Chain A
Amino acid sequence: MMNLKNLLKTQLPPLPKWVPIALLTIALIGFADATYLTVEHYMNSIPPCAIGGCEIVLTSQYSDILGFPTSLLGAAYYLLVAVLIFLSLDSKKEKYLRYALLLTPLGFLASLVFVSIMIFVLQAFCLYCSVSALTSTLLFVGALVIFKKYT
């Protein structure tokens, strides 16, 4: 069983450069998706109902957390992960990548909760929300593989 304290300290060996670049790309895709939803949230005082049913999800009580649109929190999360990955690429210090990877369970758990709400509570489907669930899952799986292989 992985130990968080160890993970925080354990250094990752140098990874092939495409690995952080791939993770950075996924984080930026997630950021783009969450940003789109945030823009939609703020630009429509009355969000229209579209074929596909996003409005059920985006206007539900779960679309806001403490007054912030959930998508804005998502965008902040992806941006933080992207900045950390870029910081590690830029500074050649692996610890920033490690911090980014350690954040991914948060995004994954949040996605898990929201996808469950979508399926079981709202019984509605929203493509944009699903894209975010996919990117956060990919980041988490990437982190798992890296830690499993190198620690």
Chain B
Amino acid sequence: MNTNRIIGWAIFVAVVGLIVWGMIAASNKAKNELTGAGLPDQVVATDWVKGTSTAPVTLVEYSDFQCPACGGYFPLVEKLVAENPTLVRLVYRHFPLQQHVHAMLAAQASEAAGNQGKFWEMYKKLFETQADWDKAADAKAVFTGYAQELGLDMVKFAADIDSQVVKDKINAQALGGARGGVNSTPTFYVNGKKIQNPQSYDEFKKLIENAATPAA
């Protein structure tokens, strides 16, 4: 093999290596892009909040009931709030994605339940049974069944699930999120700053604990 051919192959291998490195960097950059970005909208009275108001850490989640990743994070977030009640409170905001055909209706069902003081019960039910209604032909019937199980006033639920007020609230949260740079679900903000999605419960807990301790 002469020198030119060796150089040629070296360049080829370098190009392939560069592509692999570039793609890893691109993937990382996409994740880091808005890390640290500010929370799109401040927490207001109409937000659903779980936990004590004195908790030093506020975790805001932009989520979609039909998103498998949101369903995947649900047990982690539940455990986080349940096990660290003095540390963290959760704020849930709607960000239904278009490709999830029942996501909007699920959000409406949660708000309708919320109007009767059972938002978090419906939230739990929807995530726990996500795989059951994900492909359902008549998701409304499924959600109505859940409302019944939760002992809701069914006349009010039926009116609220389709009400414009409920739809407007969901759309306003999603629109606010989109304006603030939310482009995937779940997106988490810890004390007003966007975080990279933790890959495990321990990583998540550490993040919360660090946020609770003011930087030296």
Residues of A in contact with B (beta carbons under 8 Å apart): 28, 31-32, 35-36, 39-40, 43-53, 55-56, 59, 79, 82-83, 86, 90, 124
- Chain B residues near A53 (CB-CB < 8 A): 97-99
Q: How many A-B residue pairs have CB under 8 A?
A: 75
Tell which of B23-31, B36-44, B82-90 binds the partner: B23-31
- Chain B residues near A56 (CB-CB < 8 A): 99
Tell which of B5-13, B116-124, B155-163 binds the partner: B5-13
- Chain B residues near A90 (CB-CB < 8 A): 5, 8-9, 12
Q: Is the CB of A48 within 8 A of B99?
A: no
- In the complex formed, the residue of A with least CB distance to B19 is A32
A49: min CB distance to chain B, Å: 4
Q: Give chain A's interface secondary structure class.
A: helix
Tell which of B47-55, B142-150, B183-191, B207-215 binds the partner: B183-191
Task: Please report the C-alpha to C-alpha distance between residue A86 and residue B9 in the assembled complex, in whole angstroms.
Answer: 8
The residue among B8, B20, B199 with the most chain A CB atoms within 10 A of its own CB is: B20
Task: Please report the C-alpha to C-alpha distance between residue A44 and residue B200 in the assembled complex, in whole angstroms.
Answer: 11
- Chain A residues near B72 (CB-CB < 8 A): 46
A130: min CB distance to chain B, Å: 15
Q: Is the CB of A51 within 8 A of B184?
A: yes
- Chain B residues near A44 (CB-CB < 8 A): 197, 199
- Chain A residues near B27 (CB-CB < 8 A): 36, 39-40, 43
The contact of B16 among A45, A46, A51, A82, by CB within 8 Å, is: A82
The 8 nearest A-B residue pairs measured at CB: A53-B99, A49-B67, A50-B184, A48-B184, A36-B23, A46-B72, A35-B23, A39-B27
Q: Give chain B's interface secondary structure class.
A: helix
A128: min CB distance to chain B, Å: 11
Give the size of the chain B interface in residues (CB under 8 angstroms): 34
Does B133 lie at the interface of the complex (its beta carbon under 8 Å from any beta carbon of A)? no
B31: min CB distance to chain A, Å: 8
Given contacts A32-B19, A90-B8, contact A48 B200 (CB under 8 A): no
Q: Assuming A28-B19, A49-B185, A86-B8, what are 10 further A-B pairs, CB within 8 angstroms?
A: A36-B23, A39-B24, A45-B200, A48-B67, A48-B187, A51-B183, A52-B99, A55-B69, A56-B99, A79-B16
Does B70 lie at the interface of the complex (its beta carbon under 8 Å from any beta carbon of A)? yes
A51: min CB distance to chain B, Å: 5
Chain B window 44-72, contacts with chain A (Cβ cutoff 8 Å), 1 for yes, 0 for no: 00000000000000000000100111101
Task: Please report the C-alpha to C-alpha distance between residue A56 and residue B177 in the assembled complex, in whole angstroms.
Answer: 22
User: Can you list 23 A-B contacts with CB-CB less than 8 angstroms, sorted by A residue number?
Assistant: A28-B19, A31-B19, A32-B23, A36-B27, A39-B23, A44-B199, A45-B199, A45-B200, A46-B69, A46-B72, A46-B73, A48-B67, A48-B185, A49-B69, A50-B97, A51-B184, A53-B98, A55-B69, A79-B16, A82-B16, A86-B8, A90-B9, A90-B12
The contact of A35 among B20, B98, B186, by CB within 8 Å, is: B20
Does B22 lie at the interface of the complex (its beta carbon under 8 Å from any beta carbon of A)? yes
The residue among A44, A55, A59 with the most chain B CB atoms within 10 A of its own CB is: A55
- Chain B residues near A52 (CB-CB < 8 A): 99
Does B15 lie at the interface of the complex (its beta carbon under 8 Å from any beta carbon of A)? yes
